[in-house]
């Protein structure tokens, strides 16, 4: 490879991440778990190693490559981002410090680091035993939210509305050693903020509107981006995000920060040192032409920032849930896929099965992803697609 050519070591990558590296003219080394190399076959080196459990073997293999140009390791999920930070530290490559990724994974640690740097702190108490949790609930007051310190995808999040809820929760955690965070219950519109960081400077890429079922466990039912907030709120949200990222010492790459706009201004829910889930990175690409993988590799490897879409659009995803009292129907996606603006449609549930009430993101039955020139047009297209997919008797114009 040319002396000046940069290299991206990609941990268990999606095909889109490999394509992004190639679009930048960056050489690729793909790292996969043993037996998984067939999925990523191509004209690039593939290292098979158990990187998700230990980084030692991977670090040893990478030492033998003798890279001549700039090189860094990249992971775009929670596990991958943390592992990449460890590899980069061990090899002296540019990237985030592992401690910053630990702070994102530990919700209690994140709250402690942020403190009042991101506006009014969210009242919270960490509980590792039933007695501590009972004290925390009493201190925070009802209603309150309890969540696993290391949880993700809304799994395990509960709203305790009254004493009966609190008693039931404490009873179920009697034998649990998993720490929980007890937090004040915040009300307001929910948003996430997608940002990209370069050497500790944080650029807001998009504000995403988040829809939820409105009841515990607060599972997302859809996302829309970009949305425009009033100027004062936009500034306050950006300040909160930058303060949060500064508090963790986050320096390079994508972040996803969740906030609630309350009567007291924006309040921090949680933050992550990787792209947002629920296909948010795909929404960015569709609406803004902003490829999160290319942006990240360019930021770390010192390459020019890839340009976005000349004429930005609006993109959204809506999750579908079939009647849980009936077997999941055999559903064709062909008609929905042909509707205007629909970029992707998928059923994730098995036909004929039954699903329990949604306890996390994995319990949803499918989704539709669409793009349009305006928010009104997008909502019309998504509404039409969802009603067609779930065979609601009411028709739609397909505009």
DSSP-assigned letters across all residues of 291-315? -HHHHHHHHHHTPPPPP--SS--EE
Tokens of 321: 């849930």
Q: Cα dist. 273→250, 332, 335, 370, 398 in Å?
A: 8, 36, 37, 26, 38
Of 279, 301, 323, the residue at which a domain comes to its end is 301
Q: Domain total for the chain?
A: 4
Is the residue at 383 inside a domain? yes
Clarify whether residues 368 and 321 are in a common domain.
Answer: yes
In this structure, of 4-18, 153-167, 186-200, 320-334, the range with the lowest mean pLDDT score is 320-334
Determine the distance from the C-alpha atom of residue 155 to the mean position of all C-alpha atoms in its chain, rounded to a whole number. 14
| pLDDT score, position 1 | 42
Residue ranges making up the domain that contains 69: 7-95
Q: How far apart are CA 224 and CA 203, in angstroms?
A: 19
DSSP 3-state assignment of 20?
helix
Assign residue 372 the CATH number of its domain.
3.90.600
Run of H or E including 284: helix 280-288
**In-domain check, residue 359:** yes
Burial state string for 120-149 with b = 16 or more CB within 10 A and e = fewer than 16: eebbbbbbeebeebbebbeebeeebbbbbb
**Tokens read off for 238:** 């950006």
pLDDT of 324 = 67
pLDDT grade, residue 59 (50/70/90)?
A: very high
pLDDT in tens, 96-107: 999 999 999 999
Residue 102 lies in a domain: no
The answer to whether position 107 is within a domain reads: no
| Spatial CA neighbour of 209 closest among 362, 316, 345 | 316
Question: Stretch 382-389: mean pLDDT, rounded?
Answer: 92
Residues 216 and 179 occupy one common structural domain: no
Domain contains 381: yes
Is the pLDDT confidence value at 71 over 90? yes
Residue 108 lies in a domain: no
Nearest to 144 by CA among 125, 121, 161: 161
Q: Do 149 and 236 lie in a common domain?
A: no
- 319 and 274, same domain (yes or no): no
Residue 1 maps to a domain: no
Domain boundary among 301, 327, 345: 301
Do 353 and 374 lie in a common domain?
yes
Same structural domain, 246 and 265: yes
Question: Is beta strand 144-148 parallel, antiparallel or unpaired with respect to 180-184?
Answer: antiparallel
The answer to whether the CB of 356 falls within 8 A of the CB of 324 is: yes
For residue 33, the domain's CATH number is: 3.40.50.20
């Amino acid at each position: 490879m040319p002396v000046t050519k940069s290299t991206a070591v990609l941990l268990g990558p999606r095909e889109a991440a490999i394509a992004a590296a190639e679009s930048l003219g960056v050489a690729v080394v793909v790292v996969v778990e043993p037996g998984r190399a067939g999925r990523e076959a191509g004209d690039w080196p593939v290292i098979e190693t158990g990187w998700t459990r230990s980084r030692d073997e991977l670090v040893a293999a990478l030492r033998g490559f003798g890279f001549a140009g700039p090189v860094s390791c990249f992971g775009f999920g929670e596990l991958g981002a943390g592992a990449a930070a460890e590899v980069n530290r061990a090899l002296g490559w540019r990237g985030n410090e592992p401690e910053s990724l630990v702070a994102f994974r530990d919700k209690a640690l994140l709250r402690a680091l942020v403190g009042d740097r991101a506006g009014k702190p969210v009242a919270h108490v960490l509980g590792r035993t039933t007695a501590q949790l009972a004290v925390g609930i009493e201190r925070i007051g009802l209603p309150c939210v309890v969540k696993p310190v290391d949880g993700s995808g809304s799994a395990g999040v509960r709203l305790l509305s009254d004493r009966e809820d609190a008693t039931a929760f404490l009873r179920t955690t009697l034998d649990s050693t998993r720490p929980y965070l007890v937090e004040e219950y915040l009300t307001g519109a929910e948003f996430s903020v997608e940002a990209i960081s370069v050497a500790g400077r944080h650029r807001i890429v998009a504000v995403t509107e988040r829809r939820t079922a409105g009841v515990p466990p607060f599972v997302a039912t859809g996302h829309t981006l970009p949305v425009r907030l009033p100027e004062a709120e936009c500034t306050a949200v950006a300040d909160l995000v930058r303060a949060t990222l500064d508090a963790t010492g986050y320096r390079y790459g994508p972040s996803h920060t969740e906030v609630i706009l309350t009567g007291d201004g924006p309040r921090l829910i949680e933050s992550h040192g990787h792209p947002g889930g629920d296909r948010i990175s795909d929404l960015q690409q569709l609406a803004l032409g902003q490829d999160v993988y290319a942006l990240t590799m360019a930021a770390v490897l010192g390459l020019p920032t890839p340009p976005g879409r000349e004429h930005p659009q609006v993109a959204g995803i809506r999750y579908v849930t079939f009647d849980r009292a009936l077997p999941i129907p055999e559903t064709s996606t062909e008609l929905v896929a042909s509707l205007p603006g629909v970029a992707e449609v998928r059923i994730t549930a098995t036909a004929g099965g039954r699903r329990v009430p949604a306890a996390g993101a994995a319990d949803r039955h499918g989704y539709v992803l669409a793009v349009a020139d305006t928010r009104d047009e997008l909502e019309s297209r998504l509404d039409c697609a969802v009603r067609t997919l779930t065979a609601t008797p009411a028709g739609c114009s397909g505009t």
